Amino acid sequence: MVHKVGVLGASGYTGAELLRLLHGHPEFEVAIVTADSNAGALVADLYPSLAPSYPELSYSASDPVALAGVEAVFCALPHGESQKFVPALHAGGARIFDLGADFRLTANDYEHWYGEVHSCPQLLDEFGYGLVELNRDHIRDARHVAVAGCYPTAVSLALAPLVSDGLIALDTLIADCASGVSGSGRGLKASSLFSEVDENFAAYGLLSHRHTAEMQMVLGNICTSEVKVLFTPHLAPMSRGILATCYARPKADGLSTDALIAKYRDFYAAETFVTVTANPPGTKATRGSNSVHITVRYDDRTRTIIAIAALDNLVKGASGQAIQCANLLFDLPESLGLPVLGLAP
């Protein structure tokens, strides 16, 4: 059975990645794509890479009425924009997969971290948090999905086995992460210009990055305790990828790297998209895939556990993750239409 889907905000990087992945999905058919800034333009003109698959498809204005009749809507809009459309989409009966942050947090946490009052808090309970490996049952019971953020996906998967087994102190977690430039979107801004990014590596969002709230929420839900994460993101001179290097203090002695790697492999044994490696992972190995590569080490000298995760921020960190969630809600195999292997070299 083929399910017709729409992509709201399809002219950005995550929207284009959705179109790339949806073309290879045997059960989802793209019926309509919207983009106010490019309404009337051909997808193939904006993204020549998509021309073989979508030679005649054009962007419509972002209007919920235009999306009537589709079974699922992927919202690939900037943070704060989905709230304007979700009430009408919800009333229309389509399942919603929001790639922004609008429905990931409680109303209070959203207001605290995003500085705005949530416009439709009554719909927050309709959304499951879309990190399948750690929240599969809750997603199955939800009507809609708030797809997890890219940084929180990497950090949460890197630390989840340690938190789940109670191996670490929960108030000392450090996440030192780097992301490619596509993570900031396609909009024109000085910090994304080639001459600013090339040959540069810089931290940003010090002590206040909004994804901190997600990390603490996800890890806290695993152990039902308060978790504190010191998160420092960096912008790396590459198009795609996230590398998360996380540090934690163990509660007890007697750990070893071999035992931790074995624990991680057991924890993720049933997960198609998580690979636990003995070698340090790199972003290029996950490029274009929905996979996460993870390793872990124990440093006896400093009594520190280091957990490292690499992923493609546009796939597992956004569009691929959304399709994985959609597969789950439409009772399809989770890996359907999603690449497991990265592009190399």
- Shared domain check, 142 and 211: no
Alpha-carbon gap, residue 6 to 89, rounded angstroms: 11
- Shared domain check, 252 and 106: no
Number of domains in the chain: 2
Q: What confidence score (pLDDT) does residue 335 get?
A: 97
Res 156 pLDDT > 90: yes
CATH at 92: 3.40.50.720
For 274: left if phi > 0, alpha if psi spans -120 to 50, otherwise beta; the answer is: beta
**E strands in 167-291:** 173-179, 202-203, 229-235, 242-248, 274-276
- Shared domain check, 177 and 253: yes
State the residue range of the domain holding 169.
Answer: 151-313
Q: Which of 67-71, 245-249, 275-279 has the lowest mean pLDDT?
A: 67-71
Q: Work out the mean pLDDT of the chain and round it to a whole number.
A: 94
- Shared domain check, 278 and 163: yes
Angle at 182 between CA 179 and CA 183, to 5 degrees: 55
Q: Which of 15-19, 206-210, 246-250 has the lowest mean pLDDT?
A: 206-210
Catalytic (active-site) positions? 150
Q: What confidence score (pLDDT) does residue 199 get?
A: 87
Summarised one tens digit per residue, pLDDT across range 291-308 is: 999 999 999 999 999 999
- Shared domain check, 162 and 95: no
Q: What confidence score (pLDDT) does residue 183 get?
A: 83
- Shared domain check, 123 and 174: no
- % of residues, the chain, pLDDT over 70: 100
For the segment 62-87, the average pLDDT, to the nearest whole number, is: 91
- % of residues, the chain, pLDDT over 90: 86
Spell out the residues 6+ positions from residue 261 whose beta carbon is closer than 8 angstroms to its own: 276, 278, 295, 296
Alpha-carbon gap, residue 268 to 156, rounded angstroms: 13
CB atoms closer than 10 angstroms to residue 306: 20
For the segment 252-276, the average pLDDT, to the nearest whole number, is: 96
Is 325 inside a domain boundary? yes
Q: What confidence score (pLDDT) does residue 284 get?
A: 96
Residue 286 half-sphere exposure toward CB, CA atoms < 13 A:
31
Specify the long-range contacts of residues 252-257, CB closer than 8 Å, at least 24 apart: 252/167, 253/303, 255/167, 255/298, 255/305, 256/298, 257/296, 257/297, 257/298
